[in-house]
Structure 1
Amino acid sequence: MTTTNTMTTPTRTHADVREYYGDVLQSSADLKTGACCPAEAMPFALRRMLGDIHPEILARFYGCGSPLPPALEGRTVLDLGCGTGRDAYLLSRLVGPTGRVIGVDMTPEQLTVARRHRDWHAERYGFAASNVEFHEGLIEDLGAIGITDASIDVVVSNCVLNLAPDKARVFAEVFRVLKPGGELYFADVFADRRIPDALRRDPVLLGECLGGALYTEDFRRLMQQVGCADARTVSRAPIPLLDPAIEAAIGFVNFESITVRAFKLALEDRCEDFGQIATYRGTIPDAPHAFVLDDHHTFETGRPLRVCGNTFDMLAATRFGAHFELHGDKARHFGLFDCAPASPTSVPKAAGACC
């Protein structure tokens, strides 16, 4: 897939978001809802790294989850809407000195904070030089800042995609720059219905990550458009509306923070059974006992697990392949794979296939 490198024209939405995150918000204490605050406990392995993040960066963090997947050493990771760089600097440590982290944001005030601490973090981590770079630009047009086709191993984003006015363009760009077998791993705000236009344009609701929240069914359709037939939900949690005025305006919508992973793979739109088996070796750092692929696939170390064809490919044809013993092929088909989420209501239809 290729796209032109013509710069996407900034919109009124871009201007409102830039003003909200550049001028209105001076710290996370200024937020009016729980939409842009972590909705789940950060894994201990990541939480203990926060002590090595500069305090100024921590004070201006507006994410909604912990969308930092494992097994990143030596990889090239792109952080969409990196803000002041908290996740980018966590990723810096996770990819190590041989890896590379690229942060993209459209708010100059936040990038100024992120950039002035590059050397501080490199020294803190014991790196000879910083492995992080920051670019000002729109996530709808990654080509404009020089990110080429199939050049990225993993794309992450933390409560930012809801702010983009052209989400279809964002997802198209993500799958353009991902390498085959690469992964999109992101946390964002999802809604159980489409937001009325008047509320979508409200600067406060937009800035609080509510006005532009993705309707789960529209997300599923966007994934289909970019060729991703099976995006998986990793975790989810309800979002509280803490401000009475915001509750009065948009309280009829149910919001959730959902962490999603999607691979650049040729997957089927249903879970098919080919008699395949996967066994986790226990070799991913900080996951010696089990690996969680999604909210209904936990692989215990050493325990064989029957998997559908899509799940098999998500392991075999990605960076996770070295960490699994994989048996079987697709020479013989046994029909639909008999698997489902742990609870009928635990995974939104946005998660794609049933497996």
Structure 2
Amino acid sequence: MSLCRWGKLCFNLPRLTWSTSHMAAHHSTARHTIHFSGNSSATENSSPLKTYEEVKNYYGKQLSNTKDLKTSACAAPSKPLPLHLKAALDQIHEDISSRYYGCGLSVPESLENCIMLDLGSGSGRDCYMLSKLVGQKGHVTGIDMTDEQLELSRKYIVFHTEKFGFQLPNVDFVKGYIEDLKAANIKDNRYDVIISNCVINLSPDKKAVLREAYRVLKDGGEIYFSDMYINKALPAELKESKVLWGEGLGGALTWKELFDIAADIGFCTPRLVTARYITVNEELKNIIGDYKFVSATFRLFKVPKDAVKVKCRAVYNGGITGYEQKLELDANITFKVGEAVEIDEELSSILKCSRFVDKFSFQEAGNMPCSGSSHLSKETIRNPFELAEALSNGAQYSCSGDSGCS
């Protein structure tokens, strides 16, 4: 059991049932019986309530804002920030932004009119930014367990509705667990896009989180999330460190574990967007030794099982706000307007089944010249440490937003 990076409770108790009376002394606002089952990476020899209290103390008393964190996980994203995103962030109330503990920036492209879900919404910073991007016809729901964070996020709904010029609010915040969205009345096949920002690494049952995400996504939907990853598994004694767990390092997956979980659930192959090394202060260096961590963003698509999968050539037609001339889908492939790019079966099914379908034209692989580079001829980078190393050695991202970068 743990509190997520904004102080939200994200816990899984394998084969245990907790009633409201059992939790009353520790969380008097609980309203329903919680059932969890599945694999847990939480510390085995610590009682759930002890772990809960320790992490609650870490986020409730030791951290007051992002400056108190002991890692660089909350530093600026490794990719330049397109100006249309910066403009949305600049409109977020300071009380909300100052309580932001995310890693990276979990904002995919083409969000107009989308129905979105933020797993572990905390103070609501990302939700409010996304509510600006989806527009009045879209909607954003944030889910969080902690009453204090929910109270803060809900406090500014009217402020941001007026700030963005909307007639009605297009954002709401619900109380619940990211491992059990059904208990929070999150319906099947409802969402176009799910985001998560430095939260899943703090859940003891990451497979349950991603399984629930798969359930509530529409066919063609995606979960786009930033998280922390470790280069090799931590021994049990380090996972029990209060500081490592609170900072998100103790529960970090290896990237190969993520790929295995995604495949088991039914997602397409995870697509690596960006990555950077996480630096730690001297206190943590003495604990972790030679272990390395990266903050990485992946996107996982849910494609119908009966989707046709054939190699083809895709031409980006433009039309996505902020990406009018080119679309950097991930670290491996960039589409430029009007250029045909040869793509594999899986990517073809993703583009044809997702919200991107209207932004592309498709041709059989042999029917037109390939003016752009072939996606198939390139080595695919899946390891975020490999990408982080390349970037740290001088490789540069160009800004994928056409209207400029901050």
TM-score, with structure 1 as normaliser: 0.88
**Following TM superposition, by how much is the alpha carbon of 1:267 offset from its aligned partner in structure 2, in angstroms?**
7.6
C-alpha distance in 2 between matches for 1:342 and 1:232: 9
Match of 1:265 among 262, 284, 303: 303
User: Are residues 1:161 and 2:200 paired?
Assistant: yes
Call closer, same or farther: CA 1:343–1:98 in 2, change over 3 Å: closer
Match of 2:328 among 277, 292, 308: 292
Cα contact 1:193–1:216 (8 A) shared by 2: no
User: Are residues 1:7 and 2:34 paired?
Assistant: yes
Gaps of 5+ in 1: 331-335, 349-355
Q: Which stretch of structure 1 is more off in the superposition, 89-98 or 24-33?
A: 24-33
Residue 352 (structure 1) aligns with? none
**Following TM superposition, by how much is the alpha carbon of 1:310 offset from its aligned partner in structure 2, in angstroms?**
1.0
Residue 131 (structure 2) aligns with? 92
Residue 23 (structure 1) aligns with? 61
Cα contact 1:22–1:107 (8 A) shared by 2: no
Match of 1:236 among 262, 268, 275: 275
C-alpha distance in 2 between matches for 1:160 and 1:237: 17
Task: Work out the number of aligned pairs and report it.
Answer: 335
Match of 2:285 among 230, 235, 247: 247
Residue 311 (structure 1) aligns with? 347
User: Are residues 1:212 and 2:267 paired?
Assistant: no
**Following TM superposition, by how much is the alpha carbon of 1:30 offset from its aligned partner in structure 2, in angstroms?**
1.1
- For the residue of structure 2 that corresponds to 1:153, the secondary structure is strand
User: Are residues 1:193 and 2:232 paired?
Assistant: yes
Cα contact 1:192–1:215 (8 A) shared by 2: yes
Larger Rg: 2
Q: Deviations over 1:51-91 (max 9, x none)?
A: 21000111111111111111111111000011101100001
Cα contact 1:38–1:63 (8 A) shared by 2: no
Equivalences for residues 61-140 of structure 1 within 5 A = 61-140=100-179
**Following TM superposition, by how much is the alpha carbon of 1:342 offset from its aligned partner in structure 2, in angstroms?**
6.6
Call closer, same or farther: CA 1:304–1:231 in 2, change over 3 Å: same
C-alpha distance in 2 between matches for 1:16 and 1:88: 28
C-alpha distance in 2 between matches for 1:173 and 1:34: 29
Match of 2:76 among 38, 45, 67: 38
What is the aligned-residue identity percentage? 37
**Following TM superposition, by how much is the alpha carbon of 1:44 offset from its aligned partner in structure 2, in angstroms?**
2.4
Call closer, same or farther: CA 1:66–1:198 in 2, change over 3 Å: same
| Structure 1 counterpart of 2:34, one-letter code | M
C-alpha distance in 2 between matches for 1:22 and 1:103: 20
Q: Deviations over 1:243-267 (max 9, x none)?
A: 2111110132110010000100158
Match of 2:337 among 301, 306, 310: 301
- For the residue of structure 2 that corresponds to 1:278, the secondary structure is strand
Gaps of 5+ in 2: 1-31, 37-46, 367-374, 389-406
C-alpha distance in 2 between matches for 1:15 and 1:280: 50
Residue 151 (structure 1) aligns with? 190
Call closer, same or farther: CA 1:151–1:15 in 2, change over 3 Å: farther
Residue 353 (structure 1) aligns with? none
Q: Deviations over 1:124-176 (max 9, x none)?
A: 00111211111121100001110011111111000000110111111110101
Call closer, same or farther: CA 1:23–1:297 in 2, change over 3 Å: same
Call closer, same or farther: CA 1:209–1:42 in 2, change over 3 Å: farther
Match of 1:256 among 290, 294, 303: 294
C-alpha distance in 2 between matches for 1:179 and 1:199: 38
Q: Deviations over 1:316-352 (max 9, x none)?
A: 110000001112389xxxxx9543237987459xxxx
C-alpha distance in 1 between matches for 2:287 and 2:311: 51
C-alpha distance in 2 between matches for 1:103 and 1:76: 11
| Structure 1 counterpart of 2:319, one-letter code | T
Cα contact 1:104–1:135 (8 A) shared by 2: yes
- For the residue of structure 1 that corresponds to 2:210, the secondary structure is helix
Cα contact 1:140–1:170 (8 A) shared by 2: yes
Call closer, same or farther: CA 1:196–1:39 in 2, change over 3 Å: farther
| Structure 2 counterpart of 1:246, one-letter code | L
C-alpha distance in 2 between matches for 1:218 and 1:256: 15
**Following TM superposition, by how much is the alpha carbon of 1:280 offset from its aligned partner in structure 2, in angstroms?**
0.4
- Aligned Cα RMSD in Å? 2.5
- For the residue of structure 1 that corresponds to 2:294, the secondary structure is strand
- For the residue of structure 1 that corresponds to 2:201, the secondary structure is helix
**Following TM superposition, by how much is the alpha carbon of 1:22 offset from its aligned partner in structure 2, in angstroms?**
3.1
**Following TM superposition, by how much is the alpha carbon of 1:113 offset from its aligned partner in structure 2, in angstroms?**
1.2
TM-score, with structure 2 as normaliser: 0.77
C-alpha distance in 2 between matches for 1:123 and 1:288: 28
